[in-house]
Amino acid sequence: MNSFEPQSQDSLQRRFHQDNSTTQQPRDTTTPFIPKPASKNHNNSNSSSGAAGRSFQGFGLNVEDDLVSSVVPPVTVVLEGRSICQRISLDKHGSYQSLASALRQMFVDGADSTDDLDLSNAIPGHLIAYEDMENDLLLAGDLTWKDFVRVAKRIRILPVKGNTRQVKRNE
Amino acid sequence: MGRGRSSSSSSIESSCKSNPFGVSSSNTRNLSTDLRLGLSFGSSSGQYYNGGDNHEYDGVGAAEEMMIMEEEEQNECNSVGSFYVKVNMEGVPIGRKIDLLSLNGYHDLITTLDYMFNASILWAEEEDMCSEKSHVLTYADKEGDWMMVGDVPWEMFLSSVRRLKISRAYHY
């Protein structure tokens, strides 16, 4: 990893000068924008020349789904009390219901398919929560599925304790 | 409660920015993307020069700078037309997310949160009443200060809210 550090510093300095030029408009992150989709490039040798264009990769309407499916790593699933975790690829599922079905298959022995399955009853007596990139623990189901796939980094299955206040799902 | 996972740092940043997953390209592109977020050079300098690569990134940056960084990253993950913020209630370990743009105003917000957390929540418009409600709704603004919800018009609230917290109300 030592070889990366000087390169990063050089890249940083060059981009700092680029960003400071008066001809370049500062990016307003509060304004929604739709940048043009960029071609997918796996070649690392061209990183410095095409970095500006590639910084918008993944935000094009047509390219986004392909890129998201190729870059989403599998997430760890932790059942409270068990020491051995499992992994699941969220991009292989298209909905919370599909995720609920997969989790039921993982953790409920002799699980049969249920028509009325969702996150709240996938694993009886348990809540499905997740940790996001800020390591906050949140109840699964509030976000749209696509947003959930993007921000969920770890899934935690927690028992519903009797003395804990029940959290209601806003459906 | 610290759950630092430095080994996941590159995955976290790659996934959020939708970059192809790879250590070399991830480093380069993360630099480019972060600079375009409008961070000041002073802040960036502290973070990048002290940390060699993404794996050391989480532990090196100052907490305040990390908070700014993470909030910007969080905004990047919001789709157009929605504005999800996190809500935590004191004493409840699992938080929720709520889309403020799908709400009509403060009353809608209070009603939704009352239902989500099975609580009776106080806010600024009710402050004068002698209320038996046990919780008060507060929000963290852009500077990280906790304010009582309802102190500004709804549209102004939307432009400054970053996070919500339902705190226990102490009347004594």
Concatenated DSSP letters for A88-142? Answer: E-GGG--SHHHHHHHHHHHHSTT----TT--TTTSSTTEEEEEE-TT--EEETTS
* Other Cβ atoms closer than 10 A to B107: 13
Query: Distance between CA B147 and CA A75 in Å, rounded?
Result: 35
Predicted confidence at residue A158, as pLDDT, reads 94
pLDDT along chain B (172 residues), means of 10: 35 35 35 40 34 36 45 54 95 96 96 94 74 86 94 95 91 52
Instruction: Report yes or no: B29 and A55 within 8 Å, Cβ to Cβ.
Output: yes
Q: Which residue has the higher pLDDT, B5 or A150?
A: A150
> Phi then psi for A72, rounded to 5 degrees?
-75, 115
Q: pLDDT-derived band of residue A128, with 50, 70 and 90 as boundaries? A: very high
So what's the pLDDT on residue A110? 77
- Best CA proximity match to A130, nearest among A99, A106, A108: A99
Closest CA to A8 of B22, B20, B36, B47: B47
Alpha-carbon distance of A132 to A150, in angstroms, equals: 9
Core vs surface per residue B27-58: b (16+ CB within 10 A) or e:
bbbbbbbbbbeebeeebbeebbeebbbbeebb
Contacts of B21 in chain A (CB under 8 A): 70-71, 73
Q: How many residues does chain A have?
A: 171
pLDDT score at B44: 33
Higher-scoring residue by pLDDT: A37, B84: B84
Strand B84-89 relative to strand B163-168, pairing: parallel
Q: What is the dihedral of CA A23, A26, A32, A34, to 10 degrees?
A: 40
Task: Tell the residue number behind the tokens 């499905």, with chain if given.
Answer: A128
Using CA atoms, how far apart are residues A21 and A154, in angstroms rounded to an integer? 41
pLDDT tens digits, A43-89: 333 333 333 333 344 344 444 455 555 567 899 999 988 888 899 99
Q: What is the DSSP letter of A63?
A: H
Nearest CA in chain B to A49: B28
Suggest the residue from A2, A3, A7, A8 to mutate for an interface test with chain B (most B CBs closer than 10 A). A8
Which residues of chain A have a CB within 8 Å of the CB of B87?
none
pLDDT of residue B147: 94
Work out the mean pLDDT of chain A and round it to a whole number.
Answer: 67
Mutation to test the B interface, candidates A20, A30, A44, A56, most B Cβ within 10 Å: A44
CA A168-B108-B71 angle, to 5 degrees, is 75
Burial class of A44 by CB neighbour count within 10 A (0 to 12, 13 to 18, 19+): middle
* pLDDT at A141 (0 to 100): 95
Domains in chain A and their CATH numbers? 91-159 (3.10.20.90)
CB B117 within 8 Å of CB A165: yes
Calpha distance B135→B91 (Å, rounded): 11
Q: How far is A115 from chain B (nearest CA, A)?
A: 25
Return d(Cα A27, Cα A125) in angstroms, integer: 47
The confidence score (pLDDT) of residue B133 equals 76
CATH topology of domain B82-166: Ubiquitin-like (UB roll) (3.10.20)
What is the structure's pLDDT at A168?
54
**Nearest chain A residue to B12, by CA:** A133
The answer on pLDDT for A21 being more than 70 is: no
